[in-house]
Amino acid sequence: MNRFVISILLLIQTISVVAQKGSIKGMVTDAKTQESLIGTTILLKGTSQGTITDFDGNYLLPNINAGNYTLVVSFISYDPQEFEIEVKANEEIVLNVELSPATLELAGVEVVAKANRESENMLLVEQKNALLATQAIGAQEISRKGISDAEGAVAKVSGVNKQDGVKNVFVRGLGDRYNSTSLNGFPVPSEDPEYKNISLEFFSSDVIKAVGVKKAFNSEMIGDVGGAVIDISSKELVGSGELSASGSWGMNTATMGKDFLVTDGNSSLGFAKDAGSATATEYGFKNKFNPSVQNFRMNQAYNVAGGSLLSNEKMSFYLVGAYNEDYFYNEGTVRKTATTGRIDEDKKYKKYISNTSHLLMGNYLYNLNRDNVLSYSAMYIHTNKGYFGEYVGYDAEIENRGGEAGDPSITRRQQINDNTLLINQLSAELKLTDKIRFNPGVSLNYVKGSEPDRRVNNMFQSQDDGLLRFYTSQTSQQRFDSDLNELDLNLKAVFNYSLSSEEGNSSSIDFGYNGRIIDRDFKAIIYGLELNNKAYTFNPENPDLDQFFNQDGLGGIREAGTNFYIDIYNNTYTVKSYVHTGFVNATYQFTPKLVVSGGVRMDLVNTTVDYKTVITTPGTATINKNYLLPSLNSRYSLADDHAIRLGLSKTYTLPQAKEMAPFEYVGETFSSQGNPDLQPSENYNVDVKYDYYISTDELLSVGGFYKHIKDPISRLEEYSAAGYLTYRNIADYATAAGLEVELRKNIFKQAVEEQMNKLSLGVNASYIYSLVQFDFTPNKWGVPDIPFTDKESALEGAAPFILNSDISYNYRKSKTNLNATLVLNYTSDKLYTVGTSGFKNTIEKAVPTLDFIFSSKFASHWGINAKFRNLLNPSYELTREPDVDADPVVLSNYKKGLSLTMGVSYNF
């Protein structure tokens, strides 16, 4: 009874205390543009009570004791405002604030909270005040343009293009090996042994705060880079709390009205099952050769995100969970030719592709005080791609493979790629003294990349009886299994010493250590299913290959009464890599207009690749080098809104581990093999850029660059018309130069009280010139002469002309916000593969794309969106010119189809 009475009294006291409190809420906007300012700091002066505005510029300060207060509203590069307010019990004060842009530089502004880098305007402010030439695209712009992942975001930056069939992007004509990917400033490993960088498609828009593309370099940045450092910033809490849920549903027009063939081996949620294995006497595979047939499949995506301030607003957390499921179908043509243009292979194909991804992310921040912050980030990403392809048509070698001239050739390829990435990052921003700041950090990443049970079958259809038979040539029927496991440890300890206490003076010295330790293990098993029974036939309408390949049909070599025997080929390589770095970088502000930064970086690189493959004797490839990397950067402000930047730097490019291991990877349309004699490249970089900041959301930028690459590395087609690819240092040097232009301009903008109408245009374009003059003699490492067809060439993947453009309409009134955007991209013809042995270069033809994106928020909580992608539905073509006077041959041709998506969201 006493406990009950005490509880009632405590409840009454709590209600009484709450009843004596009031609250303040409102919206913060730009005084000129009327756009909401995300991440604005709201603080009751002299107290610990404060918050920041949310994605719509709204804020709420609850549970304020009655009394008189000074409310401080501040945002980077805006003049702060103070308001004298009397808070009364049981009353809610509504205070909307308009902030005016300030003329102070970012370095001279002290703020309570971090700037919100999701905002387009905020990123433009950062770009304006940065010493290095940099570009970034934030969550706000990603949403407006309907971009689904980091790859799509980077592809909207000037000088960046995508090569069809190749993961990741080309920056200023330089591909995967010349770029570097990081998350929150820490390097991230690749999930695919074929590539240096992790697939940017891994990072969906659900977790992206901003994506930065840094094309100019200083001594604090990674040394193994030549094109750009692509840094993804993960989302953090904006405001005092958030909880949202969204879903979207759509389809690709190419999949409509078609049964969908699905490769056996995945669960219903998109995780790879145990595929089993085999020995010479045990057929232990669990997956079938025969695909399942499913009805029309709809694309779908679901997302839940939320976070809150904790412990008197000193701590905050933000969590994201997402699930995506997409289906694609396309029909096309693939061909192989002789040097004269004679067609050796001509096939039509059908591909069925399903993509599934699972994502979990958590960010935790602890503010020890306003100058010291601890942060921890964790991310789990799982992606699964299921693929079934059937190729039917002419094969000039059919008579050597068991058939007769004119018999149609049929190839079936089934593949599952199942990848998992685990990321853990711990870092701190500490103020040791008034002049010294310390930024330590550590990240530990784990990657597992699996290709379980790839299945390949080659058959032909006899013209005599119409039945299917297997190719009789060796390894024409096979299963393949590979696993990559990698641990990646990154360490950093960075000190900043301020040389001046004068407000607005950015003079300082940065010095510190970076370390990266990589332990990779890769193994692959090829199961050659060789025929004992070469006369077996199948019904072409429904070929049941599992009746042939099973335990009962397995025997020894040429064993009578059995269908097949198994040859097993094991391939492995391990990688141990250590990169230890010391650096120093000094920044000095000579005048309010001129800032110069110079530094040097020493990288100690030791990489060892031990390989054991079936195509060569076991061996070791090593790189043991020390790199001294100087850099010089400057910014000169012609006026408050005009700046010129200059960057000079030296960097290097290491070969990928797989490129150094003589392991043969059999791809969909090509085979590739590493080269243990491959050597690193050295890059000398020059960047010049002029920026005119027309207003808080308008920009004109013109930039130029030049790169001299010593011992450039390239993938090339060597000694084979069938697509045998390898990696070489193809010349003594290569050069790349170009011009980049960007314009962001408001066509019209009307702002009256709480209503705004805006029509804006964004355009960026680039022209890139690249040249490689090939070396026709053995180089100093004794690499055999390469029979290049031409004396010189452009760089692989370097599109001479790239255009990105968008036109957007935005309407905002009270709780309603509407956006409509039309996005255009054009990439000109570009080199796909360097030609050798009489074969001309392979060219990827120009591609234009057009998307329309619509989104709307209403009634404070609800949002809807619609995305119409690939409206032009262009053809993707690879062509090659013959060495005689004839028309170019189309080697590959297909269309992707239109994608239509509708979505709904709710903010609690």
Tokens of 694: 């027309």
Q: Residue 607: helix, strand or coil by DSSP? A: strand
Confidence (pLDDT) at 259: 86
Confidence (pLDDT) at 345: 92
pLDDT at residue 279 above 70?
Answer: yes
Cα–Cα distance, 631 to 511 (Å, whole number): 14
Of 61 and 680, the structure prediction assigns the larger pLDDT to 680
Burial class (CB in 10 A: 0-12, 13-18, 19+), 641: middle
pLDDT band at 102 (very low <50, low <70, confident <90, very high): low
pLDDT band at 165 (very low <50, low <70, confident <90, very high): low
Q: Residue 76: helix, strand or coil by DSSP? A: coil
Phi/psi at 337 (nearest 5 deg)? -130, 165
pLDDT band at 814 (very low <50, low <70, confident <90, very high): confident
Q: What is the pLDDT of residues 284-314, one digit of tens each?
A: 999 999 999 988 889 999 999 999 888 777 8
Tokens of 46: 């002299």
Confidence (pLDDT) at 17: 42
pLDDT at residue 766 above 60?
Answer: yes
Looking at the chain, the whole-number percentage of residues with pLDDT higher than 90 is 56
* Mean per-residue pLDDT, 630-651: 94
* Mean per-residue pLDDT, 332-344: 88
Phi-psi region of 464 (alpha: psi -120 to 50; beta: other; left: phi over 0): alpha
Q: Residue 166: helix, strand or coil by DSSP? A: coil
Most confident of 39-43, 264-268, 720-724: 264-268
Burial class (CB in 10 A: 0-12, 13-18, 19+), 312: exposed
pLDDT at residue 110 above 70?
Answer: no
Q: What is the pLDDT of residues 34-67, one digit of tens each?
A: 777 877 888 888 776 778 787 677 888 888 888 8
Domain locations in the chain? 19-102, 120-234
Burial class (CB in 10 A: 0-12, 13-18, 19+), 60: middle
pLDDT at residue 12 above 70?
Answer: no
Average pLDDT for the chain: 87
Please say whether the beta carbons of 519 and 576 come within 8 A.
yes
Confidence (pLDDT) at 78: 79
Please say whether the beta carbons of 634 and 645 come within 8 A.
yes
Please say whether the beta carbons of 866 and 902 come within 8 A.
yes
Q: Residue 600: helix, strand or coil by DSSP? A: strand
Phi-psi region of 578 (alpha: psi -120 to 50; beta: other; left: phi over 0): beta
Confidence (pLDDT) at 18: 43
* Mean per-residue pLDDT, 372-398: 94
Topology of domain 120-234, per CATH?
A: Ferric Hydroxamate Uptake Protein; Chain A, domain 1 (2.170.130)
* Mean per-residue pLDDT, 714-741: 79
Which amino acid, one-letter code, is at 199?
Answer: S
To the nearest 10°, report the CA torsion of 710, 715, 716, 719.
Answer: 110
3-state helix/strand/coil string of 848-891: EEEEEEEEEEECCCEEEEEEEECCCCCEEEEEECCCCCCCCEEE
* Mean per-residue pLDDT, 802-820: 89
Q: Are 19-102 and 120-234 equal in CATH topology?
A: no
Q: What is the pLDDT of residues 694-710, one digit of tens each?
A: 987 889 999 999 999 99
Confidence (pLDDT) at 712: 92
Closest CA to 263 of 452, 481, 458, 478: 452
Most confident of 86-95, 557-566, 673-682, 851-860: 557-566
Q: What is the pLDDT of residues 410-448, one digit of tens each?
A: 999 999 999 999 999 999 999 999 999 999 999 999 999
pLDDT at residue 645 above 80?
Answer: yes
Q: What is the pLDDT of residues 225-248, one digit of tens each?
A: 999 999 999 888 877 788 999 999
Which amino acid, one-letter code, is at 231?
Answer: D
Confidence (pLDDT) at 776: 75
Phi/psi at 467 (nearest 5 deg)? -90, 160
pLDDT at residue 739 above 90?
Answer: yes
Question: Of 119-133, 328-342, 607-621, 688-702, which gets the smallest average pLDDT?
Answer: 119-133
Cα–Cα distance, 69 to 521 (Å, whole number): 62
* Mean per-residue pLDDT, 377-393: 94
Tokens 């610990």 -> residue: 48
Contacts of 82 (CB under 8 A, 6+ apart): 45, 70, 71, 72, 73
Please say whether the beta carbons of 101 and 78 come within 8 A.
yes
Of 422 and 103, the structure prediction assigns the larger pLDDT to 422
Cα–Cα distance, 889 to 887 (Å, whole number): 6
Contacts of 4 (CB under 8 A, 6+ apart): none
Confidence (pLDDT) at 760: 92
Please say whether the beta carbons of 168 and 160 come within 8 A.
no
pLDDT at residue 393 above 70?
Answer: yes
Q: What is the pLDDT of residues 450-497, one digit of tens each?
A: 999 999 999 999 999 999 999 998 889 999 999 999 999 999 999 999
pTM, full prediction: 0.85
Cα–Cα distance, 427 to 373 (Å, whole number): 9
Topology of domain 19-102, per CATH?
A: Immunoglobulin-like (2.60.40)
pLDDT band at 111 (very low <50, low <70, confident <90, very high): very low
